[in-house]
Structure 1
Amino acid sequence: MSAIGTDVGGKKMKLHKKVLGVGMATVALSIPLMGTAFAGQDALSSTHGASAHFINVGDKFEVCDLAFDGNTAKVEYEYVRKDGTLQKGSHSATVDSGNCSMFDHDFGEGRKVKFRAVVQIPFWPDVTGPWKTGIA
């Protein structure tokens, strides 16, 4: 193994070319892999009485009814497909009073999904949580 001499503070330091070569090769191999995987992102929207959770693994919505009030908890969502068309929809929790319902989707990987929690109250305007964005 050959060495390179370096003078540091009056002392001769040796850096081995072989060690430097291995370290540089490791860095060079890892750089192309960094940008290839999409990192999905979960998100949560909630309001008094309901929550909507986007779970990126499996592209799921979990809608929870958080109040014992007889109102319906739901999620409203919007998603721009790869072809540029807008997909809109909603899912209502199938049970009331502190329970959650799960809804599966198959959004394109790396695509943004905009959604919000909603409480549907008969004869009154809906109560809505803030729009949030998850990444599939």
Structure 2
Amino acid sequence: MKLALIASAVMFFASPAMAQVAVATVEYPGLQPAGGSEGARTSPSPGTEQALRHQIASLEAGQADYSAMGALTAAGLRYQNGKLQPQIRQWGALVSLKFVSASGVADVYEATFVHARVRWTIKLGSLGKITSIGYKPLS
């Protein structure tokens, strides 16, 4: 069995008037992701809500918790932290977080902040570390 490592750490930041997306992804083909197979799910994978809440709180405090991420995912977010922080501050405090759907093996949440609504996507790997995290402001 050939084990391949496909890694990407991509962050897109546009002007405040444009949609913005941040993504850091690491895929390990052949390894079972947390939450099971890629079938349609109507509930979140175990641990994704807690992991996302923790990352949002860490970002609000000034820096993501890179120790909770795979190395390449952490590197992608670390690279963009300076651009991400002003945006996080503009959103204000997290008010609520709700599971919206599952997209493949990633979970999609809608976060309501004091000044923004943001769609977050998060995926945990088989070791419980974040292997993909991204967001897109909705308002």
User: What TM-score, normalized to structure 1?
Assistant: 0.27
Structure with higher helix content: 2
Q: More relative contact order in 1 or in 2 (CA 8 Å, sep 6+)?
A: 2
User: What TM-score, normalized to structure 2?
Assistant: 0.27
Structure with higher strand content: 1
